[in-house]
Amino acid sequence: MLTVKDLVKHFPLKAGRFSSSEEKIHALNGVSFTLGKKKTLGIVGESGCGKSTLAKAILGIKPPDSGSVLLSPADTRMQYIFQDPYLSLDPKMQVKDIITEPMRAAGMITKREVAREAERLLELVGLPKDWGTKYPHEFSGGQRQRICIGRAISSRPGIVICDEPVSSLDVSIQSQILNLLLELQEKLEISYIFIAHNIAVVLYMSDIVSVMYAGYIVESAAPQELYANPMHPYTRLLLSVVPEIGKNKRIFEQKITGEVPDLIHIEPGCPFYSRCPVHSDKCRTAIPQLKPGEKEDHSCTCWLYQ
Amino acid sequence: MKEKILEVKNLTTIFHNVNQDVTAVDNLSFDLFSHEILAMIGESGSGKSVTNLSIMQLIDEPGEVAPGSRILFRDGDGYINLNRMTEKEMERIRGDRISMIFQEPSASFNPLFKLGNQVGESLRLHGQSTKEEAYQEALKLLEQVHIPNSALRAQDYPFQMSGGMLQRMMIAQALACHPDILIADEPTTALDVTTQAQILGLLKEKQAETGMSVIFITHDLALVEDFSDRILILYAGSLMEEGPARDVISHPMHPYTQDLIRSIPKPGMFKGQDKLFAIPGKVPDPGEKITGCPYAKRCSRCTAECQASRPDITEKNGRKVRCFHAYS
Ligand SMILES: Nc1ncnc2c1ncn2[C@@H]1O[C@H](COP(=O)(O)OP(=O)(O)OP(=O)(O)O)[C@@H](O)[C@H]1O
Ligand SMILES: Nc1ncnc2c1ncn2[C@@H]1O[C@H](COP(=O)(O)OP(=O)(O)OP(=O)(O)O)[C@@H](O)[C@H]1O
Ligand code: SF4
Ligand code: SF4
Ligand SMILES: [Mg+2]
Ligand SMILES: [Mg+2]
């Protein structure tokens, strides 16, 4: 089990022509959640809302300014899969060494066991088991992402953080990888944090979905509930512009006002205020708290519901 | 009767690489009508970009547009073959009459210059106006593509803009000379859904306003069902299916089109409840020798005939399909 509490991460802006040194980017503004065993927390939100910053803060790659990340003893091993399967594999290493790297780092296997373990892992992620002596450039994008997944699960982590794991892949390969992740979750009892801006993909993969906006979680619910009864005006906007086959949604006719939020000059009140079609004066004065809705496990930060 | 603005006939583009030849576009024919949005769909490597770069005559060594390929572009009362134009003649057509917006907006702006000047400069390249007039015209364009505070933002450098804003500036630049054809190569792939909806709205608005034709390249079928008039489906450099957008998506005839539609995750699919369909295998490698149907290795309807010979295109009721066992 993973418990994340009040994570805050601000990046200082470099002093220069455009800013004083005091200013900072408010990337993460107090994010909390818990993630249970064998569960998936999906995170959606537009570009720049802080999804990757959250992933990196949890992993300790970019430690948070404040807040805590608590892991149950069984889950101390966390791994990650990032977006670009081309950048995340060392081109000079053989695949068998890449895929077993976390196991060796954790002292789980000796050098002699590498070849055997690599065969097992390659098979697990659906690649021919005798491909261990190949190099990354000999693989397609989808195959590389399979290697990244094999590497991530090799050390038997309790939690794997997937940051846009399929967004650089073709639709036909995307489904293969998503189904592989689900299959491995069943087999190995892994929990995932699954980040993507494709909402359909996140709904499909998750047990609970959190919607992020400007460094806040603004709504959380089970995917069925979020899809059927979105509460937050931002979630409703998001769902209204997701392309859907056969629905004649004419998303190009949706009126979308306002620009993406300014993370440097923070105004008091609700971060969605400038784009919200149903705001009131109150929204400008104070930030709404995360409040449970009528349904169990459905919560939202919006003055409409407080 | 709609007027044909572009007629591509037997377009073949080959890259003569050191170790092998790669046929990126294989004998492709299609028409583009006035006032039309034509969607070009296909997976990575299917030849979408190369097709359009061939139309623009922007294929460089070791690539070659086969001499027999005809790219007939409406000019006055007749047609000119762009594949026979000199580079000088093409320079007048590119930007002026056929414009292209690229997938990566940062690639089309120079990071060192202010955006207003860059848009203005591109106007000057194709018109006679003075520097000042061009700048004022550029400001007007930025306003038209809904850049707030355009006079101020024109003073900004590319890195100060969001991805969506840059994409809109690129559209402004591409529209500056009122082209007959706008080619948009995956203009929204890198953007989130709200920005994507804004960009689509903008393209639709400008298209209605100017009556230009649009070739819209994407790999997202769901996006173009109600946005485009017609759809072309490409696979491994070949046309697989063509028809009115709604018909192709509601009644796909080609097994590949049907598989593609089935493998798109749809909102309302949930784990444990639905299983996402996945097409087995992967697209052919570039340069791979294929004797039969290019989709044979992955197709659930494949027969011995499909492996032995390549199906031709059959045409019926405004639909085209390349398959021995097409759905009716
Ligand atoms: N190392 C860094 N230094 C300074 N600013 C950063 C850094 N990393 C992220 N930021 C800023 O923090 C904000 C959140 O970025 P983040 O990468 O978390 O967004 P994201 O939700 O992952 O977006 P995307 O969907 O585009 O990947 C952005 O404004 C970004 O510019
Ligand atoms: N400059 C080049 N040299 C050699 N081969 C090339 C070159 N450009 C493209 N190709 C090949 O031509 C084929 C078609 O590529 P193209 O860029 O048209 O694909 P695409 O459909 O646009 O894919 P994507 O969705 O990834 O943009 C590919 O197999 C590619 O490897
Ligand atoms: S708090 Fe107010 S501005 Fe914010 S989302 Fe709710 S209604 Fe809109
Ligand atoms: S020709 Fe045969 S292999 Fe090709 S798509 Fe049709 S049924 Fe499938
Ligand atoms: Mg990110
Ligand atoms: Mg391309």
Residue A171 inside a domain? The answer is no
Beta strand B78-81 with B70-75: parallel, antiparallel or unpaired?
Answer: antiparallel
Does residue B107 carry a pLDDT above 90?
Answer: no
Could B162 and A48 be called an inter-chain contact, meaning their C-beta atoms sit closer than 8 Å? yes
Q: Where are the domains of chain B?
A: 1-97+180-281+313-328, 107-178
Q: Please state the domain count of chain A.
A: 1
Residue of B10, B32, B35 lying closest to B23 (CA atoms): B10
Does residue A15 carry a pLDDT above 70?
Answer: no
Could B265 and A173 be called an inter-chain contact, meaning their C-beta atoms sit closer than 8 Å? no
| DSSP-derived secondary structure letter, B42 | -
- Site to substitute for ligand 4 among B254, B299, B307, most atoms within 8 A of C-beta: B299
Query: Domain range spanning residue A292?
Result: 2-37+45-76+192-305
Model's pTM, two decimal places? 0.91
Q: What are phi and psi for residue A304, nearest 5 degrees?
A: -60, -25
Q: Which residues have beta carbons under 5 A from ligand 6 (an ion)?
A: B 49
Please give the distance, rounded to the nearest whole angstrom, from the Cα atom of residue B137 to the centre of ligand 2. 36
Residue A244 inside a domain? The answer is yes
Residue A113 inside a domain? The answer is no
Tell me the per-residue pLDDT of A90-133, one tens digit each, with 9 for 90 and over.
999 999 999 999 999 989 999 999 999 999 999 989 888 899 99
Tell me the per-residue pLDDT of B268-299, one tens digit each, with 9 for 90 and over.
999 999 999 999 988 888 888 889 999 999 99
Residue A279 inside a domain? The answer is yes
Could B276 and A237 be called an inter-chain contact, meaning their C-beta atoms sit closer than 8 Å? no
Across chain B, where does the E strand assignment appear? Answer: 4-16, 21-33, 37-41, 63-65, 70-75, 78-81, 98-101, 181-185, 213-218, 230-235, 238-244, 313-316, 319-322
Residue B169, pLDDT score: 85
| Cβ-based contacts of B156 with chain A (< 8 Å) | none
Percent of chain B topping pLDDT 90: 61
Q: What value does the mean pLDDT take over residues B95-107?
A: 82
Chain B residue with the nearest C-alpha to that of A245: B222
| Cβ-based contacts of A18 with chain B (< 8 Å) | 160
Percent of chain B topping pLDDT 70: 98
Three-state SS for B183-194 is: EEECCCCCCCHH
Q: Please state, in angstroms and rounded to a whole number, the distance separating the CA atoms of residues B238 and B310.
A: 11
A213's CB contacts (< 8 A; 6+ apart) are A45, A46, A49, A234, A261, A271, A272
Q: What value does the mean pLDDT take over residues B117-143?
A: 81
Does residue A19 carry a pLDDT above 60?
Answer: no
| DSSP-derived secondary structure letter, B266 | -
* Average confidence score pLDDT of chain A: 90
Q: Does B152 touch chain A (CB under 8 A)?
A: no
Does residue A286 carry a pLDDT above 80?
Answer: yes
- CATH number of residue A233's parent domain: 3.40.50.300
| Higher pLDDT, residue A265 or B258 | B258
Q: What value does the mean pLDDT take over residues B37-59?
A: 94
B75's CB contacts (< 8 A; 6+ apart) are none
Nearest CB to B278; choose among A46, A175, A205: A175
Find out whether B263 and A175 touch, Cβ atoms under 8 Å: yes
Tell me the per-residue pLDDT of A137-152, one tens digit each, with 9 for 90 and over.
888 788 888 999 999 9
Pick the CATH number of B1-97+180-281+313-328 from 3.40.50.1700, 3.30.360.10, 3.50.50.60, 3.40.50.300: 3.40.50.300
Residue A53 inside a domain? The answer is yes
Q: Which of B264, B277, B288 to mutate to test the interface with A (most CBs of A within 10 A)?
A: B264
Residue A57 inside a domain? The answer is yes
